[in-house]
């Protein structure tokens, strides 16, 4: 996870630590220690002054990036199983857990709200308008929740998600939902009626993570695979960023083509993040390295 000006980034892993990096020099500024097991996810707050981590040890921990202390400034340990994913707003921490809950912590008033989905949650993401939470569950279902009330708004099915942490997100216009699948497919659903707008086979192996970018002339979907390769797919259409409109569904379905092979890494790739404006991306891999790619 990187800060808004892309000068710093934070990574986590199986060694129970968080690494706070200077992007330009590749130097580790600070290491945060405190989790009792592997760390599953990290997220900066709006001002990049605090980073929140989600751990296999059933806890969330907040760390002060401006302080020289390596101890957490807050620990939330009300979960009954591994915390897999975390999102932040100005005043709230939202987390998804294998215990089947999506929990919201209002840090201003010290209030916790819990929405029980009845299935292990392996990833959550927030809509661009911040009104909804999308949760990926291990029963091969994505669930869309109203952030303020916890109401279940829609369910998205068709992909396979039973054994892996499967990333999910909404497109930049919040018109479509996307996720990878354990059978190597990538799915796009209509947000409102949950119909499958498009699905295509990206690889023979599991597609665990995906990231959408509109920073380039055509919309690029970066696929993060359990394989040791990174691939970049182009969803080009005559009207560029407007591919989500119904009139361009045909371009979306048939205009898909393989763009290029980004590179090879030793072992599995574990995370990907794209630059919001420039044509580059960051990946993390099982070999313990973070790489910046020019796309």
pLDDT of residue 211: 52
How many CB atoms are located within 10 Å of the residue 75 CB? 13
pLDDT of residue 189: 94
Question: What are the residue ranges of helices labelled H in the chain?
Answer: 249-254
pLDDT of residue 173: 87
What does each C-alpha distance from 160 to 180, 182, 212, 228 come to in angstroms? 8, 5, 20, 21
Using CB atoms within 10 Å of the CB of residue 157, give its burial: 0 to 12 exposed, 13 to 18 middle, 19+ buried: middle
Q: Cα separation of 48 and 283, whole Å? A: 20
What does each C-alpha distance from 204 to 82, 183, 186, 201, 218 come to in angstroms? 29, 7, 12, 8, 25
pLDDT of residue 274: 60
**DSSP letter, residue 248:** G
pLDDT of residue 231: 42
Give 247's contacts (C-beta < 8 A, 6+ positions apart).
none
User: Which fold does the domain 1-116 belong to in CATH?
Assistant: Methylamine Dehydrogenase; Chain H (2.130.10)
Which residues in 236-278 belong to E strands, given as ranges? 257-264, 269-274
User: Which fold does the domain 118-295 belong to in CATH?
Assistant: Methylamine Dehydrogenase; Chain H (2.130.10)
Pairing type for strands 92-97 and 101-106 reads antiparallel
Give 54's contacts (C-beta < 8 A, 6+ positions apart).
39, 40, 41, 42, 60, 83, 84, 85, 86, 95
Q: Cα separation of 216 and 285, whole Å? A: 24
For 289, list phi and psi in degrees, rounded to 5. -115, 155
- What are the domain boundaries of the chain? 1-116, 118-295
What's the token pair of residue 201? 């086979």
pLDDT of residue 29: 94
Q: Cα separation of 263 and 126, whole Å? A: 30
Q: Cα separation of 273 and 260, whole Å? A: 18
**DSSP letter, residue 254:** H
Give 193's contacts (C-beta < 8 A, 6+ positions apart).
none
pLDDT of residue 212: 53
- The whole-model pTM stands at 0.76
DSSP class per residue in 102-114: EEEEETTTTEEEE
Query: Fold match between 1-116 and 118-295?
Result: yes
Q: Which residue has the tokens 């970049």?
A: 232
Q: Which residue has the tokens 């560029």?
A: 240
Q: What is the mean pLDDT of each run of 10 residues along the chain (295 residues)?
A: 73 91 90 94 92 97 92 95 96 97 95 97 94 97 96 96 88 88 88 92 59 43 40 37 27 36 52 63 70 67
Using CB atoms within 10 Å of the CB of residue 234, give its burial: 0 to 12 exposed, 13 to 18 middle, 19+ buried: middle
Q: Which residue has the tokens 């919040």?
A: 174
Helix (H, G, I), strand (E, B) or coil at 233: strand
């Amino acid at each position: 996870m990187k800060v808004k000006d892309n000068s710093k980034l934070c990574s986590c892993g199986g060694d129970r630590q968080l690494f706070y990096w200077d992007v330009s020099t590749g130097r580790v500024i600070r290491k945060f220690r405190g989790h009792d097991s592997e760390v599953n996810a990290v997220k900066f707050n709006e001002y990049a002054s605090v980073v929140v981590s989600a751990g296999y040890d059933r806890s969330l921990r907040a760390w002060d990036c401006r302080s020289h202390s390596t101890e957490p400034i807050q620990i939330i340990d009300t979960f009954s199983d591994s915390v897999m994913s975390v999102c932040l707003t100005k005043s709230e921490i939202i987390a998804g857990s294998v215990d089947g809950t999506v929990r919201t912590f209002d840090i201003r008033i010290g209030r916790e709200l819990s929405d029980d989905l009845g299935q292990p949650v392996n990833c959550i993401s927030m809509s661009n308008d911040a009104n909804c939470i999308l949760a990926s569950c291990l029963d091969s279902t994505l669930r869309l929740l109203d952030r303020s009330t916890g109401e279940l708004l829609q369910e998205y099915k068709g992909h396979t998600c039973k054994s892996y942490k499967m990333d999910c997100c909404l497109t930049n216009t919040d018109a479509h939902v996307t996720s990878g699948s354990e059978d190597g497919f990538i799915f796009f659903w209509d947000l409102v009626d949950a119909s499958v707008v498009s699905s295509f086979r990206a690889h023979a192996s599991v597609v665990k993570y995906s990231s959408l970018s509109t920073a380039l002339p055509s919309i690029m979907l970066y696929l993060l695979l359990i394989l040791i390769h990174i691939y970049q797919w182009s969803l080009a259409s005559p009207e560029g960023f407007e591919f989500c409109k119904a009139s361009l569904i045909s371009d979306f379905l048939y205009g898909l083509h393989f763009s290029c092979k980004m590179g090879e890494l030793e072992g599995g790739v574990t995370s990907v993040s794209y630059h919001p404006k420039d044509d580059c991306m960051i990946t993390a891999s099982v070999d313990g390295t973070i790489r910046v790619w020019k796309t």
